[in-house]
Amino acid sequence: MRTSEELDEILQAAFCLEEERGGPFSHDEVLARARCGAEVLKRAVDSELMAEGESGYMLTDDGRARASLIVRRHRLAERLLHDVLRVPDAATESVACRFEHVLEHEVTESICTLLGHPRACPHGKAIPPGECCVSRETEIPAVIQKLSDLIAGAEGRVAYVHAANDSRIDRLASFGLLPGTPLRVHQTWPSLVLEVGETHLALDRETAEDIFVRVGSSDTNAAAGSGTGRRRRRGRGPGGMCRGFWRKG
């Protein structure tokens, strides 16, 4: 178990290095990044996951495939912790590091679907797409969905805005469309119209694809949003629900 985790770490480090510079990397760099010893690198090379070329080390095709799965798990975990569970930033990284080793394939795909197939982690790095992103199966009702996938009448709050285009984000922000803003979809065709407070905003599909929404009526979201709200809900909500349920039964 331990050895496979070390191997995961070095593959992940190699993947990130390749991603950052678009080419091979040196022996020392990858060891420093993965915080492990030279014997792990040797083992990766022996298992034909990495190879030593003229200008440094690089991942083999097998290695890259395996590494991209690890990175995918890590970054999805970050998204989950950050957007849904709202774990403080400082803790996200260390928890995500543990998640990446233990997530089963099916669980990973479920998380990805739940989060609406996000394209980037909270730091803006790309999440390698998995099978579910291609087939778009939506058996699990997603907690976070793309604005462009919502139907008229849906309500929710902005979870995050995909960070590919700064000027688009700034423009959305200047209209007050920021994480946490409650919204309601007024219509979806021929253009999308949103109700944000008393403002009606028209936007196009391309922009709507960048906005990820935590779906649900805005009241329950408001409760989930702040600490006091969560307490309030725990104190009142379930009790009321149970009473109603029992009386009915």
Task: Characterize 163-199 residue by residue with b for buried, 16 or more Cβ atoms within 10 angstroms of its Cβ, and e for exposed.
Answer: beeeebbeebeeeebeeebbbbbeebeeebbbeeeee
Handedness of CA 206, 212, 216, 217 (dihedral sign): negative
Q: Which residues bind other proteins (CB under 8 A)?
A: 89, 122-124, 161, 163, 166-176, 178-181, 187, 189-191, 193, 197-204, 206-207
Cα distances from 131 to residues 134, 135, 137, 138, 234, in angstroms, run: 5, 6, 9, 12, 37
- Least distance to other proteins, CB of residue 52, Å: 31
- Least distance to other proteins, CB of residue 15, Å: 21
Which candidate, 132, 18, 119, 12, places its Cα nearest to that of 68? 12
Looking at residue 147, the DSSP 8-state letter turns out to be: G
C-beta closer to other proteins: residue 87 or 133: 87
C-beta closer to other proteins: residue 89 or 131: 89
C-beta closer to other proteins: residue 98 or 171: 171
- Least distance to other proteins, CB of residue 43, Å: 33
C-beta closer to other proteins: residue 205 or 243: 205
Residues whose CB falls within 8 Å of the CB of residue 242, separated by 6 or more in sequence, listed in order: none
Reduce the DSSP state of residue 247 to 3 states and report it: helix
- Least distance to other proteins, CB of residue 160, Å: 9
C-beta closer to other proteins: residue 11 or 17: 17
Reduce the DSSP state of residue 32 to 3 states and report it: helix
- Least distance to other proteins, CB of residue 210, Å: 9
Residues whose CB falls within 8 Å of the CB of residue 216, separated by 6 or more in sequence, listed in order: 155, 156
C-beta closer to other proteins: residue 180 or 238: 180
- Least distance to other proteins, CB of residue 215, Å: 20
